[in-house]
A and B are shown apart, each in its own frame.
Chain A
Amino acid sequence: MPAKTIKVDMLTRVEGEGALQIKFRGERVEDVKLTIFEPPRMFEAFLRGRHAFEAPDITARICGICPIAYQMSAVHAIEKALGVKVDPAVRELRRLFYCGEWIESHALHIYMLHAPDFLGYADAIEMARDHPEKVNQALRLKKIGNHLMTVLGGREIHPISVCVGGFYKVPTRAELRELVEDLKWARETAIETVRLVSTFPFPDFEQDYEFVALSHRDEYPLNKGRLVSNKGLDIEASEYEEHFFEQHVKHSNALQSQLRKRGSYLVGPMARFNLNYDKLPESARQVAADVGLKAPVLNPFRSIIVRAVELVFACEEALRIIGEYEPPEAPRAKVRMRAGTGHAITEAPRGILYHRYQIDGEGKILAAKIVPPTSQNQKRIEDDLWQFVPQLSALPQEEITLRCEQAVRNYDPCISCATHFLRLEITRE
Chain B
Amino acid sequence: MVRVLVIGCGNRDRGDDAAGILVVRRLQERGVDAREHSSDGLALIDAWSTAEYVILIDTVITGAPPGTISGAMGADAAVLRSATTSSHSFDVAAAIELARALDRMPGSLKIYGIEGCAFEPGTEPQPAVLAAAERVASLVLAEVQRLQAA
Contact = CB atoms under 8 A, between A and B. Distances in A.
B4 to A, nearest CB: 23
Contact of B88 (A64, A143, A156): A64
Contact of A15 (B40, B46, B88, B101): B88
A139 B39 CA distance: 14
A125 B104 CA distance: 13
A13 B88 CA distance: 8
Contacts of A421: 85-87
Contact of B87 (A14, A125, A136, A146): A14
B102 A132 contact: yes
B69 interface: no
B51 interface: no
Interface in A137-189: 139, 142-143, 146, 156-157
Contact of B85 (A10, A108, A414): A10
A67 B125 CA distance: 27
Interface residue SS majority, chain A:
helix
Interface string A110-151: 001100000000001110110010011001001100100000
A113 B101 contact: no
A416 interface: yes
B87 A129 contact: no
A317 interface: no
B86 A139 contact: no
Contacts of A146: 43
Given A143-B46, A157-B39, A128 B88 contact: no
B94 interface: yes
Q: Most chain-B CB neighbours within 10 Å: which of A65, A135, A136, A139? A: A139
Contacts of B102: 128, 132, 135-136
Contacts of B88: 15, 64-65, 108, 414, 416
A108 B43 CA distance: 13
Contacts of B39: 156-157
B42 A128 contact: no
B101 A13 contact: no
Contacts of B32: none
A64 B46 CA distance: 19
A375 to B, nearest CB: 17
Given A132-B103, A136-B102, A125 B97 contact: yes
B98 interface: yes
A156 B42 CA distance: 13
Nearest to B84: A421
B128 interface: no
A12 B87 contact: yes
Nearest to A158: B39
29 contacts: A10-B85, A12-B87, A13-B87, A14-B87, A15-B86, A16-B86, A17-B85, A65-B89, A112-B87, A125-B94, A126-B101, A128-B98, A128-B102, A132-B102, A132-B103, A135-B98, A135-B101, A136-B102, A136-B104, A139-B42, A139-B46, A143-B43, A143-B46, A146-B43, A157-B39, A414-B88, A416-B86, A421-B85, A421-B86
Interface of B: 39-40, 42-43, 45-46, 85-89, 94, 97-98, 101-104
Question: Top 8 closest A-B pairs, CB basis?
Answer: A128-B101, A65-B88, A15-B88, A13-B87, A421-B85, A129-B101, A132-B102, A125-B97
